[in-house]
Amino acid sequence: MSEIVLETREITRDYHIGGGLLRQGRVIHAVKGVSFKLEKGRTLAIVGESGCGKSTLARMITMIDAPTSGELFIDGEKVDISRNGLTPELRRKVQIVFQNPYGSLNPRQKVGDVLMEPLVINSDLPAAERRDRAMQMLTKVGLAPEHFNRYPHMFSGGQRQRIAIARALMLNPRLLVLDEPVSALDLSVQAQVLNLLADLQDEFGLTYVFISHDLSVVRYIADEVMVMYFGEAVEYGTREEVFSNPKHEYTRTLFAATPRATPESIRARLARKVQKAPAPPQPARA
């Protein structure tokens, strides 16, 4: 029987904007009744345009924000941070990697301290063991032991994202939420980080929620795909189902608007540019 790591049931999130003594505020429905289940070791990609609610959903999954209504389950346990708060055990189970690795790392902390900080806060391990674990995790993400005493500004963008991934894994989480983790990186570096995430998933049995607007990345990494539109999950299925036979009109529009990088599509775009180019001026006759 499959093991369900994450489940949401009709989860919603509303924001109240404005209002005052003489003026009535309004309510923005950022997420509207989203339900899904995610099995251990699999990757769910959540896609959609900016403002569709995918990052708000990620904040609820990572228990940064509480849902307005609906139910959230982690490892079969119902989570309600608005009533019960966030326990250390739940904090260890779910971690997040943000889009901007430099913004999520303290520039005044050495990399070793960045990695050991989750252990300092959430465990009673002795300092020597914390250091050993941080050293091991550095090598797991493709960095070297000599990086332990360097500062974040001394690394490239791809290396900083590796550090952010290493920090997220220090508590051995069950679920890793990746919010646009490669969108700020060059294409070649994107491929390296995606391959690293796939290797780590196999090694540690990780479950991923992958937030992205890049469909080529989603097609590479996802097992299941959820398409969000104005706060609603308008399409949900396996990667093959969604990409080969999208059922919702918005999904088809989203796919059609995404440029394809195949040789045929590149040649077609070049041919259209040639056709639209103005004719060269004719030399004047004597």
Q: What is the CATH number of the domain that holds 124?
A: 3.40.50.300
**Closest by CA position to 74, among listed 10, 4, 13:** 4
* Residue 269 pLDDT grade (very low, low, confident, very high; cuts 50, 70, 90): low
Give me the residue label for tokens 């796919």.
255
* Residue 89 pLDDT grade (very low, low, confident, very high; cuts 50, 70, 90): confident
Inside any domain, residue 277: no
Cα–Cα distance, 192 to 183 (Å, whole number): 13
Cα–Cα distance, 87 to 230 (Å, whole number): 32
Inside any domain, residue 223: yes
Residue 286 has pLDDT above 60, yes or no: no
Is residue 24 exposed (0-12), middle (13-18) or buried (19+ Cβ within 10 Å)?
Answer: exposed
pLDDT digits (tens, 9 = 90+) for 16-52: 887 766 777 889 999 999 999 999 999 999 999 888 9
Range of the domain at 136: 4-270
In this structure, are residues 209 and 157 in contact, taking their beta carbons and an 8 Å threshold? no
Work out the number of other CB atoms within 10 angstroms of the CB of residue 257: 9
Residue 249 has pLDDT above 50, yes or no: yes
**Closest by CA position to 66, among listed 53, 80, 76:** 80
Phi, psi for residue 29 in degrees, rounded to 5: -90, 90
Give the DSSP H or E segment for 68: none
Inside any domain, residue 275: no
Token pair listed for 152: 């974040």
Within its chain, how far is the Cα of 285 from the centroid?
64
Inside any domain, residue 279: no
Q: What's the domain count of the chain? A: 1
Helix pair 157-169, 127-140: axis angle to 10 deg? 130
Inside any domain, residue 224: yes
